[in-house]
């Protein structure tokens, strides 16, 4: 069986080596890019890249532009790396379709855990669920969502979040419980990660976004 390919883009050679060494030990094939332009070229010229890890601040095309280029054509999971800890940068990353956002310095073990979790979800297409509630049809095997017959494009995290809400219809879910079940690893961020994804998910769902109710001081509940 072919090894899973991961594209790592960072203009710092030491950072590329750190990430590559840890992921290679886990059995992944690593393709390295030294800037954003090379990253885009490699992504579109290399077959079957399963995940992208890109730094934000790079010469030429920066990480935001790399993400935009990829999202024009692909839903492949993308992890953004940055030295900045500004909330606006993190929110921008999620708005552009990033699946994860990790601030430097970070634990390589945490990065590996997030990579593993994203790949499990993006490749978990066998024996998928098919949920139908209030005109929303979610097909896990096809990784597709339609609302009143219209296709809705969701990122991997948005898809998993909606599936978790629909599976737990009518149940009050705390932010901690959502993080533990949707992100599936010990998360060291805060609640704005959940809130940002819910906001984007609601917007994409249109009127049906109102089915996701906010429970102030706790979390959310999906009510049909």
Q: What is the pLDDT of residues 136-168, one digit of tens each?
A: 999 887 788 999 999 999 988 899 899 999 999
Looking at the structure, do residues 9 and 100 belong to the same domain, yes or no? yes
Segments in 26-155 forming alpha helices (H) = 36-45, 63-71, 87-95, 108-123
- Which of 123, 158, 174 terminates a domain? The answer is 123
Same domain, 157 and 218: yes
* 48, pLDDT greater than 70: yes
Q: Are residues 139 and 196 in the same domain?
A: yes
- For residue 114, pLDDT over 60 is answered with yes
Same domain, 87 and 197: no
Q: Are residues 116 and 155 in the same domain?
A: no
Is the pLDDT reported for residue 173 higher than 80? yes
pLDDT surpasses 70 at 188: no
Last residue of a domain, one of 100, 123, 146: 123
- Domains held by the chain: number: 2
Q: Are residues 13 and 119 in the same domain?
A: yes
Structural domain boundaries, residue 180: 130-222
How many Å separate Cα 169 from the centre of its chain? 23
Pairing mode, if any, of strands 100-103 and 150-152?
A: unpaired
Q: Is the pLDDT of residue 86 over 60?
A: no
Asked whether residue 117 falls in the same domain as residue 134, the answer is no
Averaged pLDDT for residues 39-53:
92
* Least trusted range by pLDDT, from 6-10, 64-68, 72-76, 128-132: 128-132
E strand or H helix at 61: none
**What is the Cα 87 distance to its own chain's centre?**
17
Which of these three, 102, 123, 144, is where a domain ends? 123
CA-CA distance, 96 to 89, in Å (whole number)?
11
Element housing 175 (H / E): helix 175-178
- Of the CA atoms within 13 Å of residue 11, those in its CB half-sphere come to 13
Same domain as 159, residue 100? no
Say if residue 76 is in the same domain as residue 117.
yes
Instruction: Give the model's confidence band at 189: pLDDT under 50 very low, under 70 low, under 90 confident, else very high.
Output: low
- Most confidently predicted of 1-5, 53-57, 116-120: 53-57
Asked whether residue 164 falls in the same domain as residue 67, the answer is: no
Asked whether residue 86 falls in the same domain as residue 139, the answer is: no
Q: Which residues of 41-64 are buried (b: 16+ CB within 10 A; e: fewer)?
A: ebbeeeeebbbbbbbbbbeebbbb
How much is the pLDDT for 124? 42
């Amino acid at each position: 069986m072919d090894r899973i390919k991961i594209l790592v883009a960072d203009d710092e050679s030491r950072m590329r080596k750190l990430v590559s060494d840890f992921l290679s030990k886990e059995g992944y094939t690593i393709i390295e890019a030294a800037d954003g332009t090379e990253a885009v070229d490699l992504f579109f010229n290399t077959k079957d890249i399963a995940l992208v890890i890109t730094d934000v601040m790079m010469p030429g095309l920066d990480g935001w532009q790399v993400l935009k280029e990829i999202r024009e054509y692909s839903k492949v999971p993308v992890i953004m790396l940055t030295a900045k800890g500004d909330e606006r940068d993190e929110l921008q990353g999620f708005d552009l379709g990033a699946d994860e956002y990790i601030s430097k310095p970070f634990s390589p073990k945490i990065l590996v855990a997030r990579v593993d979790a994203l790949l499990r979800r993006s490749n978990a297409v066998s024996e998928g669920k098919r949920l139908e509630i209030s005109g929303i049809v979610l097909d896990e095997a096809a990784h597709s969502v339609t609302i009143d017959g219209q296709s809705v494009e969701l990122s991997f995290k948005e898809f998993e979040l909606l599936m978790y809400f629909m599976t737990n219809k009518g149940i009050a879910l705390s932010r901690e419980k959502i993080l533990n079940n949707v992100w599936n690893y010990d998360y060291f961020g805060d609640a704005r990660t959940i809130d940002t994804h819910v906001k984007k998910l609601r917007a994409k769902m249109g009127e049906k976004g109102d089915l996701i109710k906010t429970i102030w001081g706790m979390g959310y509940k999906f009510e049909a």
